[in-house]
Structure 1
């Protein structure tokens, strides 16, 4: 059915069943999103466009983490460390080895995927809290190496990355945020579509089978060992891409950008957005990046009436961060993706309640 009030979707061909969108309403929503994304650079100022660019990078990392946690059921607290691997790898290969940016970014993705697969080996024997502690160890090991290995930063503690240049084309200072927006939008869209299609393949379905019940998955012929390690590699590859883009976008790489706080932030993104949902990872990334910005804007607006807020802003941000996660876990564990689904169902079935 292709109407807004469709009571069911009935496929008459395999091609129709495999389509990413099945109704006219879905195509209409997609068209609206595309129009809004195309219009953003022309309606937002530089400040807000920079925040949107940060969201686009976060979307790639959140999608990668959701592949591991939401779809495979393997918890990870090493997101910040894997972001650091991608950032430092791409920056070093570009600045010191002289590799073109696309090549250095691709190498960073492969390197991060390999290291992620290595640190994913404990998942073969550990689950739950024990696996979380093991991945936390990977976070601390990577950050420790980045801080102490003076060769990485040549003793400066940070790396400067030159302005992005691809095949002779160079980012202009006056159009920095706008040009980066188009680059990041394309890459983020490709990452989202690739992740969405991943779970229409045998590999993606094996991820979900291991998440639901690894013993049953093994009984059906799924190689659980290979699946878990592959999930860590694929997830880390997405995260490495986000890290590499962060390096070239910010033009400065330092370990302070990849602490445990960043790992917790990305975990919050997929919890708030919705575990096991690619769209949820997008919603969660946007929500968690915008939350502290909106709190700051609100604090500035009410500061004349409540002057103490300016000194308490960091504490307020942390409190709101924890409160948001707690409220979602209590009232909507399936996150913003489920909230959006309920809204669509309400409109589709109105005036009925079923």
Structure 2
């Protein structure tokens, strides 16, 4: 039972969906997800799969940076660990694709725990530098070992489900979208537990959290591990989606992309990770439309990559200055406006 904006019990306060309206919107969202692949063309299905993969990885980074306050620029490297694990297991062992994706998440999680060990002694900019160093080390390993295919990388055979090859965006949609939704619900439920509250306490004031009995190293490593697991699963899905994995597939700029996504979407918010990944994935596509519409658009295509990087930088600066809580806060303001309308002053 609710009294105003407060609840009478802890269970009600911790509920994942605290109103009938939220449950209705959830049903509507599920219906749209189920209907979408039957009405969309290949281009939009491709974008839907790519957005889903980016949402999964951005959610993992949000657990680490948004909820635990640990800055990381190594998300692309952990995605690479997951992708290479999937490619190697698919090529050499022929194991089921769901097992490969899970293994990719576990391998990335182990790598994240190793990278997270210095987090007890360093944080902020220094921790970001540690994760950048991990990215360069991962790139070196990917490019210089025979079992990773060297600089040429590895090809990935299509996943199959009961003999049906998942070789189109339509078929992969039914794998990528459910996995992403499960990961989102997992993250949302995690934040309602003792672990999630410990993450938030460490973010807000790590020294006070330690005084209250929260073991910092354990929970920081747990946060790094969970974030990397999400990245590894996303990397495994990425490998099956693009069907080729090379050292250049996961550059440092991809890590910056995910950091930009959670900043633009709103750090410390599951919705923020979704909106940020959606927005940042669609920006390059919108830029393509703009460039193609301009006179001499074909000649300007070569400048699309640097233009995209500049736009990403401007978006980060703009949101930090004008809306530091991101798109999620804008959405909350819209909800509050219509909640109070027409009695709003």
Band of TM-score, shorter chain? over 0.9
Structure 1 segments (4+ residues) deviating >6 Å? none
Residues 348 and 233 of structure 1: CA distance in aligned 2, closer, same or farther (over 3 Å): same
Q: For residue 133 of structure 1, what is the aligned residue in structure 2?
A: 129
Q: For the residues of structure 2 that align with 1:307 and 1:15, how far apart are their CA atoms?
A: 58
Structure 2: how far apart are the matches of 1:77 and 1:113?
15
The 5-angstrom pairing of residues 80-95 of structure 1 reads 80-95=76-91
Cα distance in structure 1, aligned partners of 2:36 and 2:298 = 34
- Contact 2:116/2:221 (8 A) holds in 1: yes
C-alpha distance in structure 1 between counterparts of 2:306 and 2:212, whole Å: 50
RMSD (Å), alpha carbons: 1.9
1:290 equivalent to 2:282? Answer: yes
Gaps of 5+ in 1: none
Contact 1:93 1:104 in 2 (8 A): yes
Is structure 2 residue 102 aligned with structure 1 residue 102?
no
* 1:339-350 pair list within 5 angstroms: 339-350=330-341
Unaligned runs of 5+ in 2: none
Quick one: which of 34, 56, 59 aligns to 2:55?
59
Distance 1:184 1:192 in 2: 12
**What does residue 22 of structure 2 align with?**
26
Partner of 1:159: 154
TM-score (norm 2): 0.94
Is the 1:273–1:285 contact (alpha carbons within 8 Å) kept by the matching residues of 2?
Answer: yes
The DSSP-based 3-state class of the residue aligned with 1:87 is helix
The reply on whether 1:316 has 2:311 as its aligned counterpart is: no
Aligned length: 345
Query: Is the 1:274–1:335 contact (alpha carbons within 8 Å) kept by the matching residues of 2?
Result: yes
Taking a change above 3 Å as real, the CA distance of residues 186 and 315 of structure 1, as seen in their structure-2 partners, is same
Q: Give the TM-score normalised by the residue count of structure 1.
A: 0.92
Query: Following the alignment from structure 1 to structure 2, what is the Cα–Cα distance between the partners of residues 161 and 133?
Result: 32
Contact 1:9 1:22 (8 Å CA) reproduced:
no
Residue by residue over 1:95-137, the C-alpha shift from the partner in whole angstroms, topping out at 9 and shown as x without a partner, is: 1122222222211111111110001111010011111111110
* Structure 1 residue 302, shift from structure 2 partner: 3.2
